[in-house]
Structures are given as structure tokens and as C-alpha cells.
Amino acid sequence: MKTVIALSAAALFAASLASCNQELVNPSAQNAAPGGAKTITADVTAAPATNAAPAATVPLVKTFELKGNPFWDETFTADPAPLVVGDTLYLYTGHDSATGRQGYTMNDWQVFSTKDMKTWNYHGVLLSAVNKTDFKWAKGEAWASQVVEKNGKFWWYVAIQCANPNCKSIGVAVGDSPTGPFKDALGKPLVVDSMTKGRSWDDIDPTMWTEEDGTTWLFWGNGSCYYAKLKPNMIEFDGEIQKVTPTPQAYVEGPWVYKREGKYYLVYAAMKQGNETINYAMADKITGPWTFKGEIVDHADNSFTTHPGVIEFKGQSYMFYHNGAIKKQVDGGGTYRRSVCIDYMYYNADGTIVPVKQTKEGVTVPPKPPAQ
């Protein structure tokens, strides 16, 4: 949903608040919202008195203080994807909107940001799978996504349902800032089911890593983990799609790939005793071979799925994941109404990851040293 230009500020507020169920107030009033969070209008930049295009705004629906896990409870969130840009961490999430006995109902993606992991901004819904404006070829199912910065642009890779052919696919949107506005970069899916040979729903959950030489790799997949090199234009593959072999132990979906101190990490949702956990493997090269290292996060509270997002921000590593822990009298949390959580993450001296304990306080307390 691209309602983030200065000439349509009213549309921005209406669209974002529909998902947040909050009323905007006049900036001069700054009435306190329930729970102590402050509801704030966007800072709309006036169009210059020239023939230049109007300046884009940074949409802002609400500012809130972190109180623990889950990190936000006014909309449901899932499939967290953090990105650091300068002194700011941006968080891109899915948006569970199931009611009653509905299954997965996900129509769009939300964005948050913070400079200190304490005070957060909710920027609202910034990309849609159903509005026929962002992805004209799609028909819903806004599943996991990730944003990467390259060539002065921000590339948002998303798992989405393609209408023709009718299959899971990966689309790409692009914007000039971490909050857009975003537009379809390709006009069609980058990946569709006929390009891979696994399950009919295997083309989901994209994750990217850019090497020091500027080469960007895309990983994705349910059941199998695929990978391919991207061309510099970010919308074409440079070579064949390959499969991680052997498949990492208990691999299901939700890969997250990154590099740290010369080692590559493949973190992913794994299956254990009928529900998902978070496992990881390590490699000396991004193409593998990958060596299984173990479990990082155990089963998520009240949710069949989980989904990792790993980031280092201002010298501290964090594990983002989701659970179904939010309690509400009607349509509370669960497998189809999930919420993002954040906990500290630590490494051993050899680069292996210390298992992450899921906590209610999250990162509202100071970080602790890793276990000795």
C-alpha cells in the first residue's frame, strides 16, 4: 500500500490507522494513547514552490516504548526481518489478520523502526499483496519478506501468491528509502513454482546477503532450501538456481543467511516434535557445504511456526522471532495471530551461537554476558 507521498497524507493516515485501530490526534495536542504510547501524525513535507516533484514523507502512525515480549500488541505481526541503516534499525513484518476460525490471513506488510531498541516508531502498512497497485499480478498471501540495501535503493523481496500461474512466488519491490514509497521492481514474479522442483508451495521466505565484492545472493524455500546469485540489477538471476545439499537437519522454511567474522550462518525454522524451532548451520563459503550446529530457539509459545531474523545493532546481536502469546478476550494470539519478540543473542569464542532463551522481558533489561 503506497500511501506515502506528500500530496496524499490524508490517505496515508486512513490506510495505516485501519490496521492499527487508533485515532490520530493533532500534533499540538499529542494526547497519550492507552499504555503510555503517544499517537503522532506524520511530518508531511510541503511541496517546494518549483516544478520539482513533491518530497516523499516518512509515514509515522505511532511512537511507543518497548515493554517486553511480544514487542507490540496493537496489530499482529509475524516473520520479522530486521535491517540496520546508519543509526536506525528497521523491522519489516507480516500482518496476521485472521478472525474467528480463519487460517493464515495475511494481506500486507508493516514497518517499524528504532534508534535505541527502547523507543519505537510504527510506520504502518507500507506494502500490500491485495491492493492491485503494489503487485498487479498477485492475489494475496503476504508471507515472509526481507529488505536489503544496494545501489542506493532498498529492495523488498516478498513471498506472495501469484495469480497466473496460481502458485507461491517471490516478488520484488524497490524504494529510495527504508520506508519507501515502494513499487514493483519487475512487474512479474522473480521466482515461480515451475523454476524449482520441490513442493508446490516451496517458493517462499526469501533472505538475502550481499558480499564484500557487491555480489548479492538470494536464499529461499519450504522443504528445500534454494539459492541463486542475483545480477547487479537485483531483478534477474546470474546463473542457475541451486539447492542446499544435503538439506540442513530438520529444515522446514524461513532461512536467514548472514556472515560474521569470516563464517557464514544459515539460520532456519526446523521441525521438532510436531512444531517449529530455530536451528542453524555454518559454512566457510556462502555456497556451502553447510555444517549443522544445533538448535538456537526452542518451540514458540502458542504457535506452530516460528521465524528467525538475526541482526547486530550498535555492538549487540539480537534474535527476532514470533510467537502466539498475546492474550485477548476475542481473537487472541495463536498460530494464525502471531507477534514478534526480541531477545539478546550471543556467540561463543569459536563462532557458534549460544542457545537463546525466550523471555517476557525481552530487551527491556540490560544484556548479559554469554554463558561460560
pTM for the model stands at 0.86
- What is the band of 45 on the pLDDT scale with cuts at 50, 70, 90? very low
- Chain-centroid distance, C-alpha 264: 20
Domain boundaries, the chain: 6-364
**Exposed / middle / buried, residue 349 (Cβ in 10 Å: 0-12, 13-18, 19+):** exposed
Query: Helix or strand or coil: residue 246?
Result: coil
User: What are the distances in angstroms from CA 182 to CA 47, 91, 125, 367?
Assistant: 20, 15, 11, 35
- 10 Å Cβ neighbour count for 123? 25
Check if the beta carbon of residue 39 is closer than 8 Å to that of residue 22: yes
Task: Transcribe 126-156 into DSSP letters.
Answer: EEESSSSSS-TTB-S----EEEEEETTEEEE
CA dihedral in degrees (303, 331, 206, 174; nearest 10)?
-160
Residues, the chain = 372
Least confident range from 58-62, 190-194, 368-372: namely: 368-372
Cell numbers for 50, please give them. Answer: 518549483
**Tens digits of residue pLDDT in 76-122:** 999 999 999 999 999 999 999 999 999 999 999 999 999 999 999 99
pLDDT of 11 higher than 80: no
| CATH number for the domain running over 6-364 | 2.115.10.20
Convert the pLDDT of each residue in 240-284 to its tens digit: 999 999 999 999 999 999 999 999 999 999 999 999 999 999 999
Q: How far apart are CA 316 and CA 273, in angstroms?
A: 32
The amino acid that residue 283 corresponds to is: A
Cα–Cα distance for residue pair 200/222, rounded to 1 Å: 9
